[in-house]
Amino acid sequence: MTGAVKKTISLPKQLAAQVEDRARAEGKTVSGVVQEALREAQARRLRREFKKIQGYWSAKAREKGILTERDLQRILRK
C-alpha cells in the first residue's frame, strides 16, 4: 500500500474480536476492515452534512416562494 501510515489503536476486547471475526469471514486484514469502517463512517457524515445544507437552502427557497423548478427558472430569468 503506497503512502500508508502505521497507527496503533486500542479496542475493547469484544470489538477487537468482532473485527477479527469479520476480517476472517471476508478474507481481509484487520487493517482493511478498520479502513472500510472509517470510510463508511466518513461517507455517512458527509451525507448528513449534505442533507443539512440541502435542508437549509430548501427552506430559504420556500421562503422566497420557490417550490418547483419552474419557480426557480422564473426567478433566475429576472
Is residue 52 scored above 80 in pLDDT? yes
Domain assignment of residue 5, yes or no: no
pLDDT, tens digit (0-9, with 9 covering 90-100), for 8-36? 999 999 999 999 999 999 999 999 999 99
For residue 55, what are the domain limits?
13-77
Look at 65 and 25; give whichever has higher pLDDT. Answer: 25
Domain assignment of residue 8, yes or no: no
Q: Closest Cα to residue 34, out of 22, 25, 46? A: 22
Alpha helices in the chain (DSSP H): 13-26, 30-63, 69-77
For 18, the 3-state DSSP assignment is helix
Domain assignment of residue 26, yes or no: yes
Predicted local confidence at residue 46, as pLDDT: 98
Give the model's confidence band at 72: pLDDT under 50 very low, under 70 low, under 90 confident, else very high: confident
Q: What's the number of domains the chain is made of?
A: 1
Q: What is the pTM of this model?
A: 0.72
